[in-house]
Chain A
């Protein structure tokens, strides 16, 4: 009786795990099949080299570069905001702050990641953009700068929390060795603890990057919907994710070429995040046994 129960439980657990894997594989398959359909009509070379993305216009161009550029631009702005702030917070919390402060502050900070992204989007559009326009009057209401900055604020906890975990995990004995040789707190933090936790810190940055690349709502609301191959942060652009939203919500007929562009854009996005996730997995695996 007991044995049968154990067997059923084990199978059920396996089923749960299998469903997750199955879903992932299905998504990838759908992406691939539809993207193959797209590439039968548009050459891959055009897709990768054409400098315009106008699938919904009469004069159709299918160059992904403007969308990739928009995505990388907002991501770059976001990480430029999140990396210094997130790392500073992480180092302060693990090396300087009293334990009691750390206990209260860390969960509070993580609330940042729990704010719905649509709220961030409107914050960027209605608060940050008008504020920035006071300094740059030429700036458009929709722009990559305000979207990027707000996205950066959103991903701060990814960097600060995970990096802090990595710093905190550095053995106390290494800190003692540094103090024992006359290091100041600052020297101990930057010459011993941070290098020792570097793999964990890099992983946290990559996860934050991955999150920023995949972020949709903020950029769809605040960055505009004009695919444009530019590095100017003051003009409207469009990211891969924002384009997918735009087309999905429109009235593009199912099965048409316009419809298939979603999947071509989707698979490009997937390639980016897949590569980043693999890099972080590789770093984690390669360096994790270093400090046993």
Chain B
């Protein structure tokens, strides 16, 4: 199958989704990414919809994490990183030269693969993002911390130990703390880079439950290798392969009737 065919197919499915869907939150147009000479992403075009969970799947090295990190400009500090094309969030170009990257990242929060709480207390972890914005009002900070911890269902577990070091928590609790820390800044988009890959099944289930709740308020983009997770909780799924977007459709369609052979092979476990 030629590249043109793939594009045509994607267009078809994207229109189909467009008919079903709500507002476009993130729009990527003709994204090419280079790491020095290596071309990591090739002409990516896609829309991500508001208040949905959109997954990026594909074998490692396919560019899915690279694309995710383009959405809050986390690649900016990487040596040799270059991007062509436009990404719009809420119709605003995020790579425009007058954009303040720090403001963008408050808008587009991120949760990482390995839980990475700061070596501070639980309270200070969640309060960090509000404090760096210069907020001094103690009561406001306390309320926001409580709300964020409740949102991730961690409040009852830690409310008596808020002064305790965050590193003493279990891996699953740490990851929920990291999500709470991100929520406290009040982003509208949350990027998650394989957020459950370092966790046990019970912690994973808790975070999946959380995603269900969060998508009512936030637009969530998640990189995952967990096929079961994808099928269970995710609205839209994008399959990447060798830097190309191969197929983008509702998760149900991707898993039951993929249009591309490569997608089918990957999902059924024939490669990847």
Q: Please encode chain A, from 208 to 237, with 1 for each CB lying within 8 Å of some chain B CB and 0 for all others.
A: 000000000000000000000000000000
B167 at the binding interface (Cβ < 8 Å)? yes
Say yes or no: B182 contacts A180, CB within 8 Å.
yes
Measured CA separation A180–B167 after assembly (Å):
19
In the complex, residue of chain B having the shortest beta-carbon distance to the beta carbon of A180: B110
Contact of B102 among A171, A183, A192, A291 (CB under 8 A): A183
Query: In the complex, what's the smallest C-beta–C-beta distance from B129 to chain A, in angstroms?
Result: 4
Contact of B65 with A by CB under 8 A: no
- Structural contact, B181 and A181, CB atoms closer than 8 A: yes
- Judge if A290 is at the interface, Cβ distance under 8 Å: yes
Q: State which residues 69-128 of B face A: CB under 8 Å.
A: 72, 74, 77, 79, 102-106, 109-110, 112, 114, 116-120, 128
Q: Is A284 interfacial (CB-CB < 8 Å)?
A: no
Q: Mark A266-292, 1 if CB is under 8 A from B, else 0.
A: 000000000000000000000000110
Question: How many of chain B's residues have a CB under 8 angstroms from any CB in A?
Answer: 27
Q: Which residues does chain B contribute within 8 Å of A181, judged by CB atoms? A: 105-106, 109, 128-129, 132, 181-182, 185
Q: A26 contacts the other chain (Cβ, under 8 Å)?
A: no
Chain A count of residues within 8 A CB distance of the other chain: 20
- Give the shortest distance, in Å, between B108 (CB) and chain A (any CB): 9
Most buried by B among A99, A173, A177, A180: A180
Is A131 part of the contact surface with B, judged by Cβ < 8 Å?
no
Q: Which of B127-154 contact A (CB under 8 A)?
A: 128-129, 132-133
**What separation, in Å, do the CA atoms of A4 and B214 have in the docked complex?**
69
Interface members, chain A 170-208 (any B CB < 8 Å): 171, 173-174, 176-184, 187, 191-192, 195-196
Contact B102 A184 (CB under 8 A): yes
Contact of B118 among A179, A182, A184, A196 (CB under 8 A): A196
Residues of A within 8 A of B102 (CB): 182-184
**Would A179 and B112 count as touching, CB distance under 8 A?**
no
Give a binary string over A138-177; 1 marks a CB under 8 Å from any B CB, 0 the rest: 0000000000000000000000000000000001011011
Cα–Cα, bound, A180→B192 (Å): 11
Q: Are B132 and A183 in contact (CB under 8 A)?
A: yes
**Of all chain A residues, which has the CB nearest B110?**
A180
Partner of B74, one of A176, A184, A192, A195: A176
A25 to B: closest C-beta gap in Å: 39
Interface string of A99-139 (1 = CB under 8 A from B): 10000000000000000000000000000000000000000
Given A179-B105, A182-B129, is A192 in contact with B112 using a C-beta cutoff of 8 Å?
no
Determine the chain B residues whose CB is within 8 A of the CB of A177 once the complex forms. Answer: 112, 116-118, 178, 181
Question: Given A171-B116, A174-B116, A290-B167: A180 and B109 within 8 A (CB)?
Answer: yes
- The minimal Cβ–Cβ distance linking B245 to chain A, given in whole angstroms, is 24
A191 and chain B: residue at smallest CB distance: B132
8 Å CB contact of A192 from B79, B110, B118, B181: B118
A173 B112 Cβ-Cβ under 8 A: yes
In the bound complex, how far is the Cα of B117 from the Cα of A191, in angstroms?
Answer: 13
Interface string of B144-170 (1 = CB under 8 A from A): 000000000000000000000001000
A291 / chain B contacts, CB cutoff of 8 Å:
119
B-side contacts of A192, CB under 8 Å? 118
Is there an interface contact between B72 and A180, defined as CB atoms closer than 8 Å?
yes
Q: How far is the CB of A157 from chain B (nearest CB, A)?
A: 27
Contact B132 A195 (CB under 8 A): no
8 extra A-B contacts, CB within 8 A, seeds A174-B116, A182-B133: A177-B118, A181-B105, A181-B132, A182-B102, A182-B132, A183-B102, A191-B128, A196-B119
